[in-house]
């Protein structure tokens, strides 16, 4: 089974993800990412490789980040230790400091006992599959073992947070004066930097979920528990609520009535605003196949093309990089604004969303009305042979029949899970009854045709 998953190496801390693995993984990364012309030119000039390391506040991050730093320094890499910061802050700092690569210790929206290691290449970009495979292969190969003056140094990246805040504020097209924002920081990596940045941008800020103790990250708060944020917005009479996940690469929102505004709606708002300002490259938005049909309808109404990718922000990034596009993301709240970031950035997204409220003097509900959300029913059909989902004729006939019945008022999507023996059946329709009826019927066919 491959070590790297869809977003780095992840697992139970001190279970599969041990300090030994973190150290060895860092040493292997030093070997692989220390290759290439740029690295060779640095060494020729008498310079060592440099890496930035950051983490979220979960307790296991303390020993895992220490192991990563040790592995890098023992391989001759100079380490800038940035402490607790969001994943997108690390990505920005790698590019801003012209570091050779960086390592983030975080399990994102997972519960506190889990942790993960994400490695970013020069420029703050995620590693392609082939490079991850090389690092995994290098785990059992000889490591770099300099001695004396050849070992790396570990230094504190003292102004890391300040650099990131200045970058975020400089990106804004409009200040946030007059907007009351409730921020839910998920007791995660954004607990310090997000409230500071929103206040510096002019917003009135009420903060929840910003008291990390190492164990409470994502625990009943953040982007996976929006009911807490909705209640806080209503309690405080705020204009908008912004929710991050544990490493703050996501942003979801709620309007003044407590209604959720998801990633699709946020992308719709930003796409229209960016097109108006001439910042939406080729009038194109990149989204995954799971994005709501309403997003496609809304973008079509505004002359914006939607390119679809497989599920996962890495596939969105690949398409954006290939075409030079400026906006993309997922329904889950991973939104990528490539003019300012190389990965999903929950703070950047939230700031630009609220800036559009301030610029237009509109409520979030008014802005979100640009898109009608089609009812979406998702059924996970378990204990079936997922490998036959794409080839079984009976399943294909059922999908075709449902698609024909819905016409242009809905759509059908079947996806085999990449990790479990299940098939996901997703149906969108103009009304929830039609979506549920077709989804139930398709799930029955899948269950009968693909039974193990």
Alpha helices per DSSP H over 293-407: 293-301, 313-323, 346-360, 364-368, 393-406
Specify the DSSP element, H or E, that contains 52: strand 50-55
Cα(368)–Cα(107) distance, integer angstroms? 30
- Contact between 68 and 81 under an 8 Å Cβ cutoff? The reply is no
DSSP character string of 129-191:
HHHHHHHHHHTTSPPP---GGGS--EEE-TTHHHHHHHHHHHH-SS--TT-EEEEE-TTSTTT
Residue 98 known to bind ligand: no
First vs last C-alpha separation in the chain: 22
Residue 245 known to bind ligand: yes
- Contact between 117 and 104 under an 8 Å Cβ cutoff? The reply is yes
125, β-bridge pairs? 121
Structure tokens at 89: 């802050």
Structure tokens at 403: 């698609």
DSSP character string of 307-338:
EEE-SSHHHHHHHHHHHT-SEEE-TTS-EEET
Cα(133)–Cα(2) distance, integer angstroms? 8
From the list 1, 249, 287, 209, the residue with the least C-alpha distance to 107 is 249
Cα(368)–Cα(329) distance, integer angstroms? 16
Between the CA of residue 100 and those of 50, 114, 120, 180, 294, what are the distances in Å? 5, 27, 9, 40, 41
From the list 214, 186, 374, the residue with the least C-alpha distance to 291 is 374
- Contact between 412 and 406 under an 8 Å Cβ cutoff? The reply is yes
The answer to whether 326 is a known catalytic residue is no
Catalytic pick from 74, 75, 106, 108? 108
From the list 344, 309, 295, the residue with the least C-alpha distance to 415 is 309
Residue 247 known to bind ligand: yes
**Residue that is written with structure tokens 């794409």 in the block:** 390
Torsion of CA 304, 307, 313, 314, to 10 degrees: -130
Residue 326 known to bind ligand: no
Annotated binding site for Mg(2+): 108, 245, 247, 249
Annotated binding site: 108, 245, 247, 249
- Catalytically active residues are 108
């Amino acid at each position: 089974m491959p070590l790297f998953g869809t977003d780095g190496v992840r697992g139970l801390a001190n279970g599969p993800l041990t300090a030994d693995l973190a150290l060895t993984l860092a040493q292997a990364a030093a070997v692989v990412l220390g290759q290439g012309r740029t690295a060779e030119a640095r060494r020729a000039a008498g310079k060592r490789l440099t890496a930035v390391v950051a983490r979220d506040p979960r307790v296991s991050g303390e020993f895992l980040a220490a192991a990563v730093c040790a592995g890098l320094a023992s391989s001759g890499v100079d380490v800038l230790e940035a402490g607790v910061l969001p994943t997108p802050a690390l990505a920005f700092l790698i590019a801003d400091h012209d570091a050779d690569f960086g390592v983030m210790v975080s399990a994102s929206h997972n519960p506190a006992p889990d942790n993960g290691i994400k490695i970013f290449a020069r420029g703050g970009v995620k590693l392609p599959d082939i490079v991850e495979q090389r690092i995994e292969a290098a785990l059992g190969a000889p490591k770099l073992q300099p001695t004396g003056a050849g070992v790396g140094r570990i230094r504190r990246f003292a102004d890391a947070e300040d650099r990131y805040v200045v970058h975020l504020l400089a990106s804004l097209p409009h200040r946030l004066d007059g907007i009351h924002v409730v921020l839910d920081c998920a007791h995660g990596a954004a607990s310090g930097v997000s409230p500071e940045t929103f206040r510096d941008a002019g917003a009135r800020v009420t903060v929840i979920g910003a008291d990390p103790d190492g164990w409470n990250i994502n625990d009943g708060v953040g982007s996976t528990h929006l009911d807490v944020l909705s209640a806080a917005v209503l309690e405080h009479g705020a204009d908008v609520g912004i929710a991050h996940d544990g490493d703050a690469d996501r942003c979801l929102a709620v309007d003044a009535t407590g209604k959720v505004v998801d990633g699709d709606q946020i992308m719709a708002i930003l796409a229209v605003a960016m097109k108006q300002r001439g910042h939406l490259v080729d009038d194109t938005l990149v989204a995954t196949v799971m994005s709501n049909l309403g997003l496609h309808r809304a973008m079509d109404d505004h002359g914006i093309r939607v390119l679809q990718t497989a599920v996962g922000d890495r596939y969105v990034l690949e398409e954006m990089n290939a075409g030079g596009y400026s906006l993309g993301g997922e329904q889950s709240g991973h939104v990528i604004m490539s003019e300012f970031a190389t990965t999903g950035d929950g703070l950047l997204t939230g700031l630009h969303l609220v800036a559009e409220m301030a610029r237009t003097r509109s409520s979030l509900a008014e802005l979100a009305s640009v898109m009608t959300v089609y009812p979406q029913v998702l059924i996970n059909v378990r204990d079936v042979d997922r490998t036959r989902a794409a080839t079984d004729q009976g399943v294909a006939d059922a999908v075709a029949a449902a698609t024909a019945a819905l016409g242009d008022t809905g759509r059908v999507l079947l996806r085999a899970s990449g990790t479990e023996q299940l098939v996901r059946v997703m149906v969108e329709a103009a009304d929830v009854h039609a979506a549920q009826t077709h989804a139930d019927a398709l799930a029955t066919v899948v269950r009968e045709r693909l039974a193990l």
